[in-house]
Amino acid sequence: MARRSNLRPSFLRKYSTASLVSFALHAALVVMLVVGLPFAHRQEAARPQTVAIQATVVDESRIEQEVARLEQQERAEIERRQREEREARAAAEAARREREREQQRLEQTRRESERAAEQERTRLAEAQREREAEERRRAEAERQRRAEEERLAQQRAEEEQRRTADAARRRQEAAAARRQAEREAELQSAMAAEEERRAAERAGLLDEYIRLIENRIQQNWIAPASARVGLECVVNVTQIPSGDVVDVRVGQCNGDEAVVRSIEAAVLRASPLPRPPTPALFERNLVVTFRPEL
């Protein structure tokens, strides 16, 4: 136990692991002594004391060896950590210097780029001024050319207007003469057609024509069940010169809805209608009185 008192307190405080191992070994020694005490009373007095002292000396030596080993391991660990810290600081310093060099290179590149950009801006500005001056010269030349073209165009337009006015006047005079001739021809034709129509009416051809149409409609009429004796309906028919019916409407009628629809269907089935005996009797819109015989 005397040798244990020679251990450096500062070392035990610094290396907590070694202290814990030492404490565990001492505790184990005490337990061994306590357990072995009854057995020592059954042996001779001198012999157990000697054995106990020797065991104590051996245990203290092992403790010192273990402490020394742990101390050596701790120093090696500290040295390793210090070495790693030095290497990390050296790497950080190298990285810092590399960053500084990279920043310097970037700064140099930036300054060179700015100088090049400034030179390019100066060159472009000069080129722009030259282009603007050239454009102004061209614009002035173009303005003068257009002014001359406009003057010549104005002259041509005035001459064209005079020629156009003369031609329009001549066309108007010719058109007026043509319309006058057409009106006179139409009037003559209308007078002739009217005279022909009157002659046809006097001859009874119009009544004959109307009867033909009425007969054609009645032939195509299918009387509905509601048709009654005395049926009389006014039918408005629209036709074209070929006699084809393009529209039919029943006006005043004493028949019901079924009768009206049957008459309209009959007119459409009768298309094309008979042509008049003379073209003068043709009328686009006919009014026919439908009086079927039931």
Mean pLDDT check: name the lowest of 116-130, 145-159, 205-219, 243-257: 205-219
Assigned domain for 224 exists? yes
What tens digit of pLDDT does each residue of 228-254 get? 888 999 999 999 998 899 999 999 999
Quote the CA–CA distance of 150 and 167 in Å, as a whole number.
25
**What's the confidence (pLDDT) of residue 29?**
57
Question: Among 95, 114, 138, where does a domain finish?
Answer: 95
Whether 141 is covered by a domain: the verdict is no
Rounded mean pLDDT, 24-39: 51
Give domain status of residue 46, yes or no. Answer: yes
Domain boundary among 64, 95, 126: 95
* Average pLDDT for 27-48: 48
Helices and strands (H, E) in the chain, number of each type = 5, 3
Q: How many CB atoms are closer than 10 A to CB 240? A: 13
- Beta-bridge partner residues of 285: 238
- Residue 161 three-state SS: helix
The answer to the question of residue 182 being in a domain is no
Task: Please check whether residue 270 is in contact with residue 219, taking contact to mean a CB–CB distance below 8 angstroms.
Answer: yes
- Provide the residue range defining the domain that includes 216: 204-290
Q: Is residue 277 part of a domain?
A: yes
Task: Report how far residue 265's alpha carbon sits from residue 249's, in angstroms, rounded to the nearest whole number.
Answer: 10
Give the domain CATH number at 269. 3.30.1150.10
Closest CA to 220 of 170, 272, 185: 272
Task: Determine, yes or no, domain membership for 130.
Answer: no
Place of tokens 């007078």: 191
Arithmetic mean of pLDDT, 112-123 = 91
pLDDT at position 203: 57
pTM: 0.36
Whether 48 maps to a domain, the answer reads yes
Q: pLDDT grade, residue 62 (50/70/90)?
A: confident
Structural domains in the chain (count): 2
Question: Is residue 180 very low, low, confident or very high in pLDDT (cuts 50, 70, 90)?
Answer: confident
Residue 183 belongs to some domain of the structure = no
- CA–CA separation, 198 and 206 (whole Å): 9
Spatial CA neighbour of 258 closest among 292, 291, 222, 215 = 222
Q: Write down which residue in 95, 127, 154 finishes a domain.
A: 95
What's the pLDDT at 236?
94
Q: What are phi and psi of 221, to 5 degrees?
A: -90, 135
For residue 43, name the pLDDT band (cuts at 50, 70, 90).
Answer: very low
In this structure, which long-range contacts are made by residues 245-249, counting pairs with CB atoms below 8 Å and at least 24 apart in sequence?
Answer: 245/270, 245/271, 245/272, 245/273
pLDDT tens column, 83-101: 999 999 999 999 999 999 9
